[in-house]
């Protein structure tokens, strides 16, 4: 079975759980920014949690299939239709042979996940079907006109899936390994006022605008390994939360680290929206 | 994570005597940054941890650190690393020869900084046995140690928007080879045809950490 992508929207990529174990060679891990939403989409259509699916940025996706298939759309709040008839997010929907699935522009959130029963069967690169947008390791970016093979469904879709949806809230942080490069109250001050999401945010990092943490050391940090959720403070003082496609090493000091369970919010926060941090 | 309090950097070395050679810093709930004296110690610690089958998703050496990411129990990691000393691993990595055409746009600038001429730069650069300390910046981009602080050169004040793949350059006391075309601020000595990064190879990065490198005139 094959998917034909008629419209790919602003940015659509194939993602699975990511490419672990190669950070020491300079390879970002990649993977979905909103992991719980991606896992839910796979569960809804009966896929294994590591099945490959589409991450759609700002909606605008249109695709057809050559055979009937169960599909599920999760993540951002977005109007979905099949051949013009409205369908729901967060549940398995039947896409008939030749039918056209369409995602409009999300009304809240940024990224949608589209899972198809059987998973996307594109060729893995270095053991993963996740696309890294920093160095473009992985399957190619999904463009208008792309054809994507689909694997064999493992079984029927989940009859019912009623997970407790993650609740947005302040991002819990712990002090980072270079918190001592900043003023003693820098972590407390990070939590004291909201930060606005910057326009340049992407899969590499969530760029924040707000109070600049005060550094007490001005020397250059020798490059060191970075983790998902690290809150780096570059020379301009505006914090960046490192996301799935972050470079594996970096030279800016890390003031704090966002709790992994809260990172999905960084993938759904829109430019201009405000986020808060809290000690957790 | 309770046993690795952030405010008290854990001194693993209480088990081993001298206390300066290894400090562990928590890096979020599932990672630990191990800080050591220099890049040789970082390579040694990473090799030691891998040989001891450390339980971590990623072991990432840096300029003077090793990141252990995806660590289930930091206390178990601390115990494993306590057995390491900087000279614990003496095994030498594979040697790779990289042929270079020394016609880079910055080679005369480097020559004047070193107080020599182009031939002198080539002689110096081809004499050193470099070691890949760590990768970063791009897949397969290795930071090669061995130049020595006395030959360190600053990065370009304004980076080039386009550096061709295969360019061999210097920044600080590091040497590096660009695996793919990218922007960059390293001072370029020349270029090589060797393919540094190939995801279809069983070892996709030619200059993985620990690899020894010699440059030879092409």
Lowest mean pLDDT, pick from A41-50, A107-116, A203-212: A41-50
Q: What is the pLDDT of residue A166?
A: 74
Mean pLDDT of A7-24: 97
Helices marked H in chain B — which ranges? Answer: 39-51, 74-81, 107-114, 118-127
CA angle B151, B152, B156 (to 5 degrees): 130
Whether pLDDT at A124 is above 80: yes
List the CATH number of the domain containing A246. Answer: 2.40.100.10
pLDDT at B14: 40
Residue with tokens 């407790």: A164
Question: Residue B10: what pLDDT?
Answer: 44
Cβ neighbours of A177 in B, within 8 Å: 25-27, 33
Render pLDDT for A65-121 as a digit per residue (tens, 0 to 9): 999 999 999 999 999 999 999 999 999 999 999 999 999 999 999 999 999 999 999
Burial call A40-55: b when 16+ CB within 10 Å, e when fewer: bbbbbbbbeeebbbbb
- Please provide the average confidence, as pLDDT, over all residues in chain B: 90
**Closest Cα of chain A to B17: distance in Å?**
24
In terms of Cβ atoms closer than 10 Å to its own Cβ (0-12, 13-18, 19+), residue B91 is: exposed
Q: Which domain holds residue A9?
A: 2-149
Report whether pLDDT(B184) > 80: yes
Q: What pLDDT is stored for residue B87 in this prediction?
A: 82
Q: Is residue A158 part of a domain?
A: no
- Among B26, B64, B136, beta carbon nearest to A247: B136
Architecture of domain B95-217: Beta Barrel (2.40)
Cα–Cα distance, B114 to B121 (Å, whole number): 8
CA distance to partner chain A, nearest, from residue B5 (Å)? 10
Tokens for B143, please give them.
């930071």
Give the integer Cα–Cα distance in Å for A161 and A77: 18
Number of domains in chain A: 2
Length of chain B: 218
Whether residues A271 and A223 share a domain: the answer is yes
Same domain, residue pair A226 and A119: no
Same domain, A110 and A198: no
Query: Both A230 and A269 in a single domain?
Result: yes
Q: Are residues A63 and A114 in the same domain?
A: yes
Q: Indicate whether A44 and A108 sit together in one domain.
A: yes
Average pLDDT over residues B200-217: 95
Supply the pLDDT for residue A165.
66
Using CA atoms, how far apart are residues B176 and B165, in angstroms rounded to an integer? 11
Of B31, B37, B7, the closest CA to residue A179 belongs to B7
Which pLDDT band holds residue B82 (cuts at 50, 70, 90)?
Answer: very high
Mean pLDDT, rounded, of chain A: 95
pLDDT in tens, A209-228: 999 999 999 888 999 999 99
How many CB atoms are closer than 10 A to CB A265?
Answer: 22
Closest CB from A21, A26, A176 relative to B27? A176
Residues A24 and A129 both lie in one domain: yes
Res. A249: pLDDT tops 90:
yes
> What is the location of CATH 2.40.100.10 in chain B?
95-217
> What is the C-alpha separation between B34 and A250, in angstroms, rounded?
15
* Whether residue A27 is found in the same domain as residue A81: yes
User: Given A84, A114, A149, which residue is the final one in a domain?
Assistant: A149
Check A230 against B66: CB less than 8 A apart. no
* One domain, residues A138 and A181: no
Cβ contact B172:B105 at 8 Å? no
Nearest to B5 by CA among B33, B35, B30, B25: B25
Q: Name A147's bridge partners.
A: A4
Q: Where are the alpha helices (DSSP H) in B10-165?
A: 39-51, 74-81, 107-114, 118-127
Average pLDDT (A25-39) is: 96
**To the nearest whole percent, how much of chain B has pLDDT over 90?**
83
CATH architecture of B12-81: 2-Layer Sandwich (3.30)
A162 occurs within a structural domain = no
Q: How many beta-carbon pairs under 8 angstroms link A with B? A: 115
To the nearest whole percent, how much of chain B has pLDDT over 70? Answer: 90
Q: Is the pLDDT of residue B64 over 60?
A: yes
Asked, for residue A154, whether it belongs to a domain, the answer is no
Interval B164-183 mean pLDDT: 95
Same domain for A176 and A60:
no
> Given this model, what pLDDT does residue A188 score?
97
């Amino acid at each position: 079975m094959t998917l034909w992508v008629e419209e790919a929207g602003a940015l659509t990529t194939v993602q699975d759980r990511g490419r672990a174990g190669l950070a020491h060679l300079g390879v970002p891990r990649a993977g979905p920014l909103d992991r719980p939403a991606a896992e839910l989409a796979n569960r809804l259509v009966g896929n294994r949690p590591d099945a490959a699916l589409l991450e759609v940025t700002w909606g605008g996706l249109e695709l057809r299939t050559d055979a009937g298939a169960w599909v599920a759309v999760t993540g951002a709040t977005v109007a979905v239709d099949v051949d013009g008839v409205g369908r729901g997010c967060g549940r398995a929907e039947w896409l008939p042979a030749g039918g056209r699935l369409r995602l409009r522009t999300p009304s809240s959130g940024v990224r949608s996940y589209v899972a198809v029963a059987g998973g996307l069967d594109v060729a893995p690169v270095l053991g993963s079907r996740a696309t890294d947008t920093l160095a473009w390791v992985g399957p190619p970016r999904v463009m208008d006109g792309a054809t994507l093979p689909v694997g064999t469904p493992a079984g029927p879709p989940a009859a019912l899936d009623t997970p407790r949806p993650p609740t947005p809230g302040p991002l819990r942080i712990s002090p980072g390994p270079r918190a001592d490069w900043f003023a003693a109250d820098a972590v407390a001050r990070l939590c004291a006022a909201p930060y606005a999401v910057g326009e340049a945010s992407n899969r590499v990092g969530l760029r924040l605008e707000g109070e600049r943490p005060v550094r007490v050391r001005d020397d250059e940090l020798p490059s060191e390994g970075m983790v998902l959720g690290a809150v780096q403070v570059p020379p301009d003082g505006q914090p960046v939360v490192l996301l799935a496609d972050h470079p594996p090493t970096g030279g800016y000091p890390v003031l704090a680290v966002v709790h992994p369970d809260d990172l999905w919010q960084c993938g759904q926060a829109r430019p201009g929206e405000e986020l808060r941090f809290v000690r957790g | 994570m309770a046993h690795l309090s952030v405010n008290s950097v854990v001194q693993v070395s209480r088990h081993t005597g001298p206390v300066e050679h290894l400090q562990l810093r928590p890096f979020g709930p599932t990672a630990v940054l191990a800080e050591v004296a220099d890049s040789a110690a970082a390579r040694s610690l990473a090799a030691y941890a891998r040989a001891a089958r450390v339980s971590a998703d990623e072991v990432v050496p840096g300029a003077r650190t090793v990141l252990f990411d995806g660590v289930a129990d930091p206390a178990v990691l601390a115990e494993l690393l306590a057995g390491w000393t900087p000279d614990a691993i003496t095994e030498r990595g594979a040697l790779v020869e990289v042929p270079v055409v020394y016609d880079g746009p910055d080679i005369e600038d480097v020559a004047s900084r070193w107080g020599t001429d182009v031939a002198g730069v080539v002689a110096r650069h081809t004499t050193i046995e470099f070691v890949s300390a760590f990768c970063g910046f791009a897949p397969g981009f290795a930071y090669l140690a061995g130049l020595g602080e006395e030959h360190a050169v600053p990065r370009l004040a304004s980076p080039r928007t386009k550096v061709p793949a295969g360019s061999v350059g210097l920044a600080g006391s590091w040497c590096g080879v660009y695996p793919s075309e990218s922007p960059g601020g390293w001072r370029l000595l020349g270029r090589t045809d060797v393919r540094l990064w190939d995801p279809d190879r069983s070892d996709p990065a030619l200059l993985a950490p620990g690899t020894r490198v010699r440059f030879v005139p092409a």
